[in-house]
Structure formats: C-alpha cells, structure tokens
C-alpha cells in the first residue's frame, strides 16, 4: 500500500470514529423504559376489550352515518377512561355515499343469481335496471388496451385477479380495476361495469370498496361479484358462451353530512408542542362490522398510548392518538387534520390499518441523520420478531391516512408492517367481524407501538423532514 493510501485509510477511520462518537443516541433510561413498555405490552388486555366493545355495541361505521357518530362519541369516552388527556372529536363536513338494494343475475346462457355488492360511490342504475350482454376482459390492462367498440352498449366485466402476499403487495396491481374500471369502461361506451372482487378468498362473498369517476366521462353503475361467481363467468366465456346480465342497483350520492376525527393525548414535557401521531381509522364499510378494518388498528394504538400514559414517565413530546374519520371513501379526516395542524411540528406520523396480524417488519421515512436512532428502535423490536430490512429500510409507508399527511407535509413516518396473508380474505366484506381477529396477536402489536411511540417522543433530534 502506498503512503498516501495509508494516510487516506487512517483519515477515513478517524472520520468514522468521529461520526460514531457524535451520532445521536437515546438516553440509557429511555431505552430501559422502552424495555419495560415492551414487557408490559405483551401482557395487554385493553386492545381486545376496545375492539370487542366497539364491534359489539356499534358495529359497522360507514362514513357520515349515525353509527360512525355514535362510535366517535364512544371512542372519546373510551380514550378518557384509558387515561388519555384532551379527548375530543373534531368534525368536518363531507358528502356521503349510501348503499341501497342491489342484485346481479346472469340471464344467459343460464339463469343464475350472483353474489354481488355495489362499489362505493357508484351511481344508481335506472329504476328498471340494466340488462345487456357482457363484454368480458381478462384484466384491467386488457380493457385499457381495447381500442374496439366491443364494450359499447354492454356491461363490461373485468376478471382481475389478486395475488396473496404477507405484505399485501398484490393489492396495488389489482385495485385499479375497482377504482378506475368504471371510467375506462364508460370511455368505451359501456352501460355498467362489474369486477371480480378484489380479494384473496374463494368464498361466495363480495368485496366492496371505493371507486371513482372523472369529470367529462359518463358515470355508469359499478359492482363486484364474488370470486367463485367470477370463476363461473370466466368458465362460460372460455366455453364460447354469450353472457347476458341483469343489474339492479340503488344508491345515493352527495348526501350532506359530517365525519369526525377522535383525538386524545399523552401530554409531553419540554417538547410538548411536537407531536408523535399514532392512528387508525374509525369508519368502516357497511357490509361487516369493521373489526379487522380498522377496529383492530384503533384498538392497538389506543392501548399503546394508554400503556405509555400509565407507565410512570411522561414523554418529552406529546403522543397523540388520532382515530380518523372517512378513510374508506375520501380521506376527509386526514385532510381535515392536515389543514388544522399543518403548522405544528410532527416528529412522527404512523397508522395501524392492516388488520390484527403480528408485526413482522419496521420501515421508516426519516431524515438520514435520524437513521441511527431508527436502527436502535428496531433493535428493541427485534425480540418481538420484527425485522429491519437491509434494503429499503427508509422507504416505508406508514398507512393510508398517515401516508397522505407524510406526502402533503413532509412529516416523517414509521410503518410497522403486520402479517396480512389473510387480510384480503375478509377486507371490505361481510366477514370483517370480530371472529376474524385472534386476540393472542394483539399484545405483540401493542408492545411494538408503545416502544415506537415512546422512543420517537424521546429522540434527541427531529426525525423530519421526510425524504420523498
């Protein structure tokens, strides 16, 4: 090795040593307290009690409905009872969509009723219904690629399949059929659009969910059928049969109402004006009882904050629980929160909205200087079975409402990824019920969230702005 190489190596070593010495670090007593929270979280019973009472006493909570308002009042009282401070509701106006009766019947080549559900925001069909031949497409890409008039005057059916994955990665490629299918079908002159349910189950249940229209494109009714019914249509189409469908669908749009966020806090000390936000969404679709999506998430973060509140030490920053309104069909709660608190420093935004499975991975979206702190946080979650990936560790997503706030305000974020292998079996269906939650998985979630929120509140430097 040449002399200048030796000197260069020595300089790099000295630089590395200097950086190691000056790297931000948590106080030893804060790490010890995090370990106590971790142990206490594993004994938690509050999360199960929260979601059970929510589902048993309120049930489904469509945005803007009386049930959602009742749930907000219940949650405000429940958060106070858990020992959190400043519990309140913050309403915001919205225009709601309200489901009515609907049915879809195959009338040729055979007569068979299909299990179906209208998609959120769908307009109603004409009072007499719609009866037309089906224009069948393998997937959404096939519809978008179609430059013929095959869809004109017909009911388009999109047979988009969804892949099962622990991280839910099959959802993104599939959900465009639901959200954008009506627009692409209408551009081609279709009378209505039906889709294979965006889900991973094989039961005769239909998955609802939001769809959208575009200005300047005709609005047509939109619905989903169960996976077995979609398989039946596909088999008939493959056999060369001409398919004909009768659709009846009633719904109301633009109903003037309000939704609301429910907020409560563990007040901070010297950095009380800075916020560590942990969240879920209180609204749900109307088909099930909103247990998995997202009663479980609301319960987990509420129990984690309650654990911090009663653990004997106040955090430096304020830990704020936000149970958002109308995540499912418009993000009114998240947008309202951002408008109201945009001038407030947020140390962290995060959301539990992927069911009740065990947390298996942590990712962040923080400024590079904060990464040593995130790595240390991850080390305290490791005994709970949570990994910090070698690749993409700082490219995380914090959940839907929190992600909207992250993008709009560059607020830093952490995502705690739950095992979602079975999540899309029940997502937006009649099977989203309390029975689909394993109470044994909730304490691990509470422990993870308590440790994460506590250490974010104690961190010696800001996590933001988020690198986007």
CA–CA dist 37, 307 (Å, integer): 7
What is the gyration radius of the CA atoms in the chain, in angstroms? 25
- In whole angstroms, give the CA distance from residue 271 to residue 458: 9
- Say how many C-beta atoms besides its own lie within 10 A of residue 131's C-beta: 15
Told to judge if 203 belongs to the known catalytic residues of this protein, a careful annotator would answer: no
* Token pair of 454 as six digits: 């506590």
Cis omega (within 30 of 0) for bond into 27 = no
Distance in angstroms between the alpha carbons of the first and the last residue of the chain: 42
Q: Out of 327, 375, 395, 435, pick the active-site residue.
A: 327
Rounded to the nearest 5 percent, the helix, strand and coil shares of the chain are: 40, 25, 35
Please state whether beta strands 346-351 and 271-281 pair in parallel, antiparallel, or not at all (unpaired). Answer: parallel
Among 421, 435, 79, smallest CA distance to 292 is for 435
Which residue from 309, 257, 304, 258 is spatially nearest to 280, judged by alpha carbons?
304
The answer to whether 386 and 322 are in contact (CB under 8 A) is no
Which two tokens mark 130? 């719609």
CA–CA separation, 247 vs 192, rounded Å?
Answer: 9
CA distance 221 to 444: 43
Q: DSSP secondary structure string, 325-388?
A: S-TTTT-HHHHHHHHHHTTS-EEEEEE--S-SPPEEEEEEE--GGGHHHHHHHHHHHGGGT-B-
Helix (H) or strand (E) holding 43: none
Q: Of 464, 461, 460, 458, whose CA–CA distance to 414 is shortest? A: 464
d(CA 165, CA 163): 6
Alpha carbon 30 to chain centroid, angstroms: 30
Can you tell me whether residue 49 is helix, strand or coil?
Answer: helix
Q: Tell me whether residue 108 is exposed, middle or buried, using C-beta atoms within 10 angstroms of its C-beta: 0 to 12, 13 to 18, 19 or more.
A: middle
Structure tokens at 59: 């049930």
Measure Cα distances from 104 to 131, 158, 289, 372, 399 in Å: 10, 15, 24, 56, 34
3-state secondary structure 60-111: CCCCCCHHHHHHHHHHHHHHHHCCCEEEEEEEEEEEEEEEEEEEEEEEECCC
As annotated, the active-site residues are 327
């Amino acid at each position: 090795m040449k002399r200048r190489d030796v000197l260069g190596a020595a300089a790099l070593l000295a630089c590395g040593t200097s950086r190691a010495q000056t790297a931000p670090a948590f106080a030893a007593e804060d790490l010890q307290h995090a370990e106590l929270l971790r142990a206490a979280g594993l004994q938690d019973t509050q999360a199960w009690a929260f979601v059970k009472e929510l589902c048993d006493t309120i049930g489904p909570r469509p945005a803007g409905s009386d049930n959602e308002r009742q749930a907000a009042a219940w949650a405000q009282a429940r958060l106070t009872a858990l020992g959190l401070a400043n519990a309140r509701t913050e309403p915001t106006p919205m225009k709601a969509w309200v489901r009515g009766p609907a049915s879809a019947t195959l009338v040729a080549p055979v007569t068979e009723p299909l299990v179906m559900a209208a998609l959120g925001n769908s307009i109603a069909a004409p009072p007499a219904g719609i009866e037309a031949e089906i224009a069948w497409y393998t997937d959404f890409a096939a519809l978008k690629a179609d430059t013929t008039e095959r869809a004109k005057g017909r009911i388009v059916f999109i047979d988009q399949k969804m892949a099962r994955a622990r991280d839910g990665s099959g959802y993104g490629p599939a959900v465009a059929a639901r959200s954008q299918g009506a627009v692409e079908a209408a551009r081609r002159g279709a009378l209505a659009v039906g889709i294979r349910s965006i889900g991973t189950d094989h039961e005769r249940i239909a998955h609802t969910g939001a769809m959208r229209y575009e200005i300047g494109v005709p609005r047509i009714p939109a619905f989903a059928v169960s996976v077995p019914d979609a398989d039946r249509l596909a088999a008939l189409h493959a056999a060369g049969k001409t398919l004909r469908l009768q659709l009846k669908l009633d719904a109301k749009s633009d109903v003037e109402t309000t939704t609301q966020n429910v907020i409560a806090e563990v007040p901070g000390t010297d950095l009380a004006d800075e916020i560590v936000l942990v969240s879920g969404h209180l609204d749900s679709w109307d088909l099930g009882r909103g247990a998995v999506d997202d009663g479980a998430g609301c319960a987990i973060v509420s129990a984690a904050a309650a654990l911090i509140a009663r653990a004997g030490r106040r955090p430096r920053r304020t830990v704020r629980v936000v149970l958002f309104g109308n995540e499912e069909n418009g993000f009114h709660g998240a947008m309202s929160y951002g408008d109201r608190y945009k001038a407030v420093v947020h140390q962290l935004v995060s959301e539990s909205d992927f069911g009740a499975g065990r947390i298996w991975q942590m990712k962040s979206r923080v400024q590079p200087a904060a990464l040593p702190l995130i790595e240390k946080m991850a080390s305290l979650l490791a005994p709970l079975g949570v990994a910090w990936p070698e690749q993409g560790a700082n490219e995380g997503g914090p959940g839907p409402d929190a992600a909207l706030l992250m993008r709009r305000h560059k607020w830093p974020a952490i995502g705690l990824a739950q095992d979602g292998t079975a999540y899309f079996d029940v997502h937006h269906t009649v099977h989203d019920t309390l029975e689909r939650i394993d109470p044994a998985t909730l304490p691990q979630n509470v422990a993870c969230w308590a440790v994460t929120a506590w250490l974010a509140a104690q961190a010696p430097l800001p996590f933001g702005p988020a690198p986007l």
